[in-house]
Amino acid sequence: MSIHDEGFAPAETPEGIEVRGLVKSFGSTPVLTGVDLDVAPGTVSVMIGPSGSGKSTLLRCLNLLETPQAGRVRIGDDEIDFTAGVRRGQSASLRRHSAMVFQSHNLFPHRTALQNLMEGPVFAQGRPRREVEEEARGLLARVGLAEKADAYPDQLSGGQQQRVGIARALALRPRVLLFDEPTSALDPETVGEVLAVMRDLAAEGRTMIVVTHEVRFARDVADHVVFLDGGVIAEEGPPQQVLLDPQQERTRAFLGRIL
């Protein structure tokens, strides 16, 4: 199973991500207290950090599932300055650039794999059904699931469901892919098939932020590793440095717990 067999290239040009001073609190609980992050176009950043450190919240802010109280986010040419306030239409515009893959696939249970892929492009993006179906079938083939187009989620294994989840994200033609612990809910024997799809997407030059504690994936695939702790990025750099020779004591302590 390799998406390269299809001569696959991103439908959209990958974009870079720039985050400055991002602040997000829930009620009186600060979660992100000033996050600065740069992801170059076509590169993979792996984000690690303790449970509750705000990794999901940061991804959700990039995808506008959460609204930060301050700071700014730029993806490609689209930027929102949350400190200044979000203007009408800005959220939809920025959200268009990214697609999320969640820990649990979140597929619609009463829709087939194919229908799950078509939902967003047809109903949210208003693209022509026939064109979307053709593209969706191609995407299912690329994640090795051409034969499962008419299967319902509960007829698929966890790994297959998650591959449908990735294909569904790709169907939105995003310029940036955000993965939130995509393999942490899977049986160990199906983790590899999902990571293989993600490796192919990385090799294709997609811009990706991947929250994962799969250290081998981070070492092999990441261009950049980010350690989120205490509401900020506490350490970042090339994988060899952050994973094998961390400079901060709290990075060392965290890695000591997960390795």
Residues in region 3-42 near ligand ADP by CB under 6 A: 26, 31
**Gap between the Cα atoms of 219 and 232, Å rounded:** 22
Least distance (Å) between residue 30 CB and Mg ion: 17
Nearer to ligand ADP, 53 or 251 (CB): 53
Nearer to ligand ADP, 141 or 225 (CB): 225
The interface partner of residue 53, options being ligand ADP, Mg ion, none and the CB cut-off 5 to 8 Å by kind, is ligand ADP
Binding at 160: pick from ligand ADP, Mg ion, none (beta carbon under 5-8 Å per type): none
Tell me how far, at minimum, the Cβ of 61 lies from Mg ion, in Å: 13
> For ligand ADP, which stretch binds (CB under 6 A), given 53-61, 87-95, 109-117, 148-156?
53-61
Task: Please answer whether residues 99 and 169 qualify as being in contact, where contact means their C-beta atoms are separated by less than 8 angstroms.
Answer: yes
Residue 23 or 141 with smaller CB distance to ligand ADP: 23
Query: For residues 163-173, b (16+ Cβ closer than 10 Å) or e, as one string?
Result: bbbbbbbbbbb
- Residues 105 and 153 sit within 8 Å (Cβ to Cβ): yes
The answer to whether residue 49 forms part of the interface with ligand ADP (CB under 6 A) is yes
Instruction: Select 56 or 162, whichever has its Cβ closest to ligand ADP.
Output: 56
Is 54 a binder of ligand ADP (CB under 6 A)? yes
Asked if 101 and 166 count as a contact pair (C-beta separation under 8 A), the reply is: yes
Q: Tell me: does residue 174 bind ligand ADP (CB under 6 A).
A: no
Choice from 3, 8, 45, 55 touching ligand ADP (CB under 6 A): 55
Q: Return left, alpha or beta for 123; rule: phi > 0 is left, psi -120 to 50 is alpha, else beta.
A: alpha
The candidate with the shortest Cα–Cα distance to 22, out of 94, 81, 87, 99, is 81
Q: In the complex, which residues of this chain contact Mg ion (CB under 5 A)?
A: 55-56
Which of the listed partners (Mg ion, ligand ADP, none) does 51 bind, with a CB threshold of 5 to 8 Å by partner kind? ligand ADP
Query: For ligand ADP, which residue of 23, 35, 37, 56 counts as binding (CB under 6 A)?
Result: 56
Q: Which segment (48-56, 72-80, 132-140, 201-209) binds ligand ADP by CB under 6 A?
A: 48-56
Q: Which two tokens stand for residue 150?
A: 């008419």
* Alpha helices (runs of H) in 63-187, residue ranges in sequence order: 90-95, 113-119, 129-142, 158-171
The residue at minimum Cβ distance from Mg ion is 56
Q: How far is CA 4 from CA 86, 200, 202, 208, in A?
A: 40, 7, 11, 18
Q: How far apart are the first and last CA of the chain?
A: 29
Residues in contact with ligand ADP by CB under 6 A are: 26, 31, 49, 51-57
